Amino acid sequence: MTESTATPAQQIAAGYVTTGPALELGSVVVGDEVDPSAQIRIPLAMMNRHGLIAGATGTGKTKTLQVIAEQLSAAGVPVVMADFKGDLSGLSRPGEAGEKIAERAKDTGDQWAGTPYPVEFVSLGTGGIGVPVRATISAFGPILLSKVLGLNQNQESTLGLIFHYADQQGLPLLDLKDLRSVITFLTNTDEGKAQLKTLGAVSSQTAGVILRALVNLEADGGDTFFGEPELEPADLLRVDANGRGTITLFEVGDQAARPVMFSTFLMWVLADLFNYLPEVGDLDKPKLVFFFDEAHLLFKDASKAFMDQVEQTVKLIRSKGVGVFFCTQLPTDVPNAVLSQLGARVQHALRAFTPDDQQALSKTVRTYPKTEIYDLATDLTALGIGEAIVTVLSERGAPTPVAWTRLRAPRSLMDTIGPDYIKATAQASPLFLKYGPTVDRESAYEMLATRMAPPPSAAADEPMDLPPIPIGIEVPPMPAPVERAEPGMLEKMMDNPAFKSALRSAGTVIGREVTRSIFGTGRRRR
């Protein structure tokens, strides 16, 4: 078929033809007609060029996330995503056939079959229903922690200096009480006050504000988010026995009341991956794809330092084989500097009920390539549920034609599986044995408590009045050492997850310098 005889739908689909593996999104809609043969897809190799999934509530964003996650997993690519409403937990079960599913499969040219996918359920802190995951305070870093605490720019700078002090003094900051004890030491002891002056522009008043913010976070349950064992990036990069990528779902649960904490923690996970992964350049498929749902929470009231680091992360992590997708209601929720880095756009229906809505719609239209087939200002408000305006990057890195797309139905269950099933699945996971128990080893809190303790009494230094050693008693010889077949104590320690976590944790008692990278996150020099 020549270009002159091709239908508009087929002309659009021609821009989405790939030679390598690709994710199938759906089929082209022109007017009121859908063409199942006109397929819209994203080249798998382009998934590290990042993307945006946007649309009003109830337009199908979650189902789009589900469709993309399924195909990434099937292609052997691990996925990390937040499950704010529990809807994505259905990825672990096969979907249920029905009339609507059959109709959607016919429209999109999909040979639909219910399919479950390997899912790991994790929760932030120890109060959730998934495998508990934590970060140490030192690894979290001052910029991200300032975002959580709601600090201003001056307070953020002060917190950075306090982190620097703890690093230099070899005081491990593992949990909230460690950081609280360091600030208390610097503001309430003569030795600490003298050292506080050497830090430069650090006032005791500002340190006091930070201390109160820490106390409030701790009282709000934040003490369960930080500590050991710390989440290891390698556990997010696993594939199952069939070569399918593991989908790691961060269950929000009770943390819905602390959305800023949750979204900021996800940013730490991404920064930790950045620090962990080597440079690999462009690959045939990404090592991992990361989805930020409710992305507006990440950028709301963010400091300039925070925004700069987000932009830097998005720019640089592509070369480490990681793709990042932001999911939100409006494209304007994402700063322009970040939005310009997103190669794939899946825009569900927008509302235009208010002047602000109309302004956001106008801005959205201007971000798309020109099209003679669609009137985007009108069509973006007329999309049905499970339909989106799509443009991605082709295999050669050029934007594809704008396509009104009827999206495929997920092959996994489009519903929540319930907290009981999630909890049971999490507790049966090998990761639960690794991260379930909390480890509280010696750190800044214990070290400073010893330093500030009163000196022992003189009586304690006097020799103890011990009874005389009896004489005339024959002592038997020591038995010969017995060789054990089982591993020795050192081997057992090296295999212990808590010991491994201690080795990789920032700020050890031997005083090695902490190296700080993206967001000031801490990682030991190797």
pLDDT at residue 3 in the model = 56
How far is 77 from 37, CA to CA, in rounded Å? Answer: 27
pLDDT at residue 481 in the model = 46
Name residue 322's beta-bridge partners: 288
> Which of 381, 427, 383, 431 is CA-nearest to residue 405?
383
What is the β-pairing status of strands 403-407 and 387-391? antiparallel
Q: Is the dihedral of CA 273, 279, 281, 286 positive or negative?
A: negative
pLDDT at residue 192 in the model = 86
68, 69, 70, 71: CA torsion to nearest 10: 50
Crossing angle, helix 142-149 and helix 204-219, to 10 degrees?
70
Confidence band, pLDDT 50/70/90 cuts, at residue 149? very high
Q: Quick one: tokens of 129?
A: 């229903």
- Residue range 471-486: mean pLDDT, rounded: 49
- Find out if CATH 3.40.50 is the number for domain 9-134+229-356+422-435: yes
Give yes or no for a contact between 259 and 297, defined as CB atoms under 8 angstroms apart. Answer: yes
- Per-residue pLDDT tens for 155-184? 999 999 999 999 999 999 999 999 999 999
- Per-residue pLDDT tens for 213-243? 999 888 877 888 899 999 999 999 999 999 9
> Which of 163, 182, 239, 184 is CA-nearest to residue 522?
163
- Per-residue pLDDT tens for 370-410? 999 999 999 999 999 999 999 999 999 999 999 999 999 99
Three-state secondary structure string covering 484-521: CCCCCHHHHHHHCHHHHHHHHCCCCCCCCCEEECHHHC
Confidence band, pLDDT 50/70/90 cuts, at residue 303? confident
pLDDT at residue 165 in the model = 92
| pLDDT above 90: percentage of residues in the chain | 61
How big is the CA angle at 300 (ends 323 and 348), to the nearest 5 degrees?
Answer: 55
pLDDT at residue 42 in the model = 97
pLDDT at residue 526 in the model = 38
> Is it the case that residue 1 has pLDDT exceeding 80?
no
Whole-Å CA distances, 257 to 64, 261, 269, 472: 25, 9, 20, 74
Who contacts 16 (Cβ-Cβ below 8 Å, separation ≥6)? 39, 40, 41, 392, 394, 400, 401, 403
Q: Quick one: tokens of 168?
A: 């230099």
- Residue range 40-44: mean pLDDT, rounded: 97
pLDDT at residue 367 in the model = 87
> Is it the case that residue 503 has pLDDT exceeding 70?
no
How far is 73 from 100, CA to CA, in rounded Å? Answer: 24
What is the β-pairing status of strands 33-43 and 22-30? antiparallel
> Which of 283, 192, 287 is CA-nearest to residue 233?
287
Confidence band, pLDDT 50/70/90 cuts, at residue 11? very high
> Is it the case that residue 296 has pLDDT exceeding 90?
no
pLDDT at residue 255 in the model = 64
> Which of 425, 431, 385 is CA-nearest to residue 89?
425
> Which of 23, 303, 278, 6 is CA-nearest to residue 145?
303
Q: Quick one: tokens of 279?
A: 């440079």
Confidence band, pLDDT 50/70/90 cuts, at residue 96? very high
- Residue range 478-493: mean pLDDT, rounded: 47
pLDDT at residue 32 in the model = 87
Q: Quick one: tokens of 492?
A: 């057992």
Give yes or no for a contact between 412 and 66, defined as CB atoms under 8 angstroms apart. Answer: yes
How far is 460 from 13, CA to CA, in rounded Å? Answer: 85
Q: Where are the domains of the chain?
A: 9-134+229-356+422-435
pLDDT at residue 523 in the model = 59
**CB neighbours of residue 50 within 10 Å:** 24
**CB neighbours of residue 378 within 10 Å:** 11
How far is 277 from 273, CA to CA, in rounded Å? Answer: 6
pLDDT at residue 489 in the model = 47
DSSP-based three-state secondary structure for 471:
coil
Give yes or no for a contact between 166 and 182, defined as CB atoms under 8 angstroms apart. Answer: yes
> Is it the case that residue 57 has pLDDT exceeding 80?
yes
pLDDT at residue 139 in the model = 93
- Residue range 449-462: mean pLDDT, rounded: 66
What is the β-pairing status of strands 131-133 and 79-83? unpaired
Give yes or no for a contact between 151 and 157, defined as CB atoms under 8 angstroms apart. Answer: no
Q: Quick one: tokens of 493?
A: 């320690």
Confidence band, pLDDT 50/70/90 cuts, at residue 4? low
Confidence band, pLDDT 50/70/90 cuts, at residue 515? low
Compute CA 124 distance to the chain's CA centroid, rounded to the nearest angstrom.
10
The dihedral region occupied by 52, where left means phi > 0, alpha psi between -120 and 50, and beta the remainder, is beta
Give yes or no for a contact between 259 and 266, defined as CB atoms under 8 angstroms apart. Answer: no
Q: Whole-number mean pLDDT of the chain?
A: 86
pTM of the model: 0.86
Crossing angle, helix 304-316 and helix 142-149, to 10 degrees?
130
pLDDT at residue 140 in the model = 93
